[in-house]
Amino acid sequence: MSRGTAAEHRLAWLLCAPAVITMLLVTAYPMLYSLWLSLFRYDLRFPDQREFIGLQNYVAVLGSPTWWESLANTLIVTTASVALELLLGFVFALMMHRALIGRRAIRTSLLVPYGIITVVAAMSWRFAFDPTTGFINGLLGLEGALLAERWTAFGVIILAEIWKTTPFMALLLLGGLTLVPENLLRAARVDGAGALQRFFHITLPLMRQVIVVALLFRTLDAFRIFDSVFVLTRGAQGTEPVSLVGYNTLITRLNLGLGSAVSVLIFCCVVVIALIYIKGFGIELSRQEEK
């Protein structure tokens, strides 16, 4: 294709303008506004006391145990759920790839967790683990409420996260599995390579790019965890993730200054995670956009 004429450029920009302007107005502008607000003492309950205080909000957030605890909580949930999802996702993907019968049924039922509203799924788990209405305590012969203890509550939160998002991981991995040439695997089989050898020496290396992209997106997604924790514990028992700290500061307590500092710090965490993946694993995100 040619480099394009001036008329073509104009048409292209015209077509892109509404979407780009919307995206920038609703993300970039509020993000900058967040950065600005984070430099002020600004509590909506006492709007008259608004004043510029420099980095004091950041000092307050970074000096509080709540922030570090919630960051640790978020990282625990993110790491545990993404790691387990990758394993389980591979099992599911291989099943969908190899299953001779019922492939359609498997795919359809796996899309149910993907499509269901997160809050609804979390409600189901909350009722299931409830000592009076639930069936799980009876099934496991337990007495106490699992959601009332810190580590078991983490277990339930991670379980809810895994249940909901493994199908997405599995579908991405399935897409990667179809990239592995079938005759290569057959040749390796003829040469005497076992199933595990074939998986680790052929399938896995060929899927590297797909796996890293899936991990990046799932990690960033898990890091924003909010809905399920809100429903399951509302952050009680020391399970509060960073998003909930942000929400509580901004919307519940209406402290826009301090809350904005939390928001900016969460944004920085996300940038750091993305950079670690992009630099560390060498994802070539831009390469995919080339034709």
Partner 1 sequence: MVAENRAGRREQLLWTIGSTALVIYALIPVAWLASLSLKPGADLGDGRFLPRSISLEHYRAVLHDPQFPAALLNSVGIASIATLLAVMLGMFVAYAVVRLQFPGRGAILAIALAIAMFPPISIVGPLFNVWRILGLYDTWMGLVLPYMTFTLPLAIWILAAFFREIPWDLEKAARVDGATPLQAFVRVIVPLTAPAVFTTAILVFMFAWNDFLFAISLTSTNAARTAPAAIAFFTGSSLFELPTGSVAAASMIVTIPVILVVVLFQQRIVSGLTAGAVKG
- Is 146 a residue that touches partner 1 (CB under 8 A)? no
Stretch that binds partner 1, among 30-38, 59-67, 143-151, 184-192 (CB under 8 A): 30-38
Measure the CA–CA gap between 160 and 147, rounded to whole angstroms: 12
Q: Does 168 bind partner 1 (CB under 8 A)?
A: yes
Alpha helices, H only, the chain:
6-23, 29-37, 56-62, 65-98, 103-115, 118-129, 136-140, 150-177, 182-190, 195-198, 204-206, 208-223, 227-232, 242-247, 256-280
Binding part of the chain for partner 1, among 50-58, 59-67, 102-110, 141-149 by CB under 8 A, reads: 102-110
CB 172 within 8 A of CB 214: yes
- Would you give the DSSP letter of residue 5? -
Size of the site for partner 1 (CB under 8 A): 104
Q: Report if residue 116 touches partner 1, rule: CB under 8 A.
A: yes
Given 73, 203, 239, 260, the residue binding partner 1 (CB under 8 A): 260
Which of the ranges 29-37, 64-72, 183-191, 196-204 carries the binding residues for partner 1, by CB under 8 A?
Answer: 29-37
Min. distance of Cβ 249 from partner 1 in angstroms? 8
Nearer CB in complex with partner 1: 176/235? 176
Contact characters 3-22, partner 1, x per CB under 8 A: xx--xxx-xxx-xx-xxx-x
Question: Exactly one of 82, 110, 146, 215 binds partner 1 (CB under 8 A); which one?
Answer: 110
CA distance 243 to 112: 26
Contact between 120 and partner 1 per CB under 8 A:
yes
- Residue placing its CB nearer to partner 1 in the complex, 61 or 121: 121
In a 13 Å sphere around the CA of 8, the CA atoms on its Cβ side amount to 5
- Smallest gap from Cβ 65 to partner 1, in A, equals 20
Q: What residues numbered 204-243 form the site for partner 1, per CB under 8 A? A: 210, 213-214, 217, 220, 223-224, 226-227, 230-231, 242-243
- Asked if 93 is part of the footprint of partner 1 (rule: CB under 8 A), the reply reads no
Distance CA 232, CA 228 (A): 6
Q: Does 256 help bind partner 1 (rule: CB under 8 A)?
A: yes
Rg of the chain's alpha carbons, rounded to an integer? 24
- Does 201 interact with partner 1 (rule: CB under 8 A)? no
Enter the tokens of residue 57.
Answer: 């909000």
Q: Which of 80, 157, 233, 246 binds partner 1 (CB under 8 A)?
A: 246
**CA nearest to 160, candidates 219, 216, 227:** 227
Our CB check for partner 1 shows the closer of 80 and 93 to be 93
Residue position matching structure tokens 């337990």: 142
**CA 110/CA 117 separation, integer angstroms:** 14
User: Min. distance of Cβ 158 from partner 1 in angstroms?
Assistant: 15
Query: In degrees rounded to 5, what are phi and psi of residue 130?
Result: -70, 135
Q: Which of residues 49-88 bind partner 1 (CB under 8 A)?
A: none
Rounded Cα–Cα distance for residues 121 and 160 (Å): 7
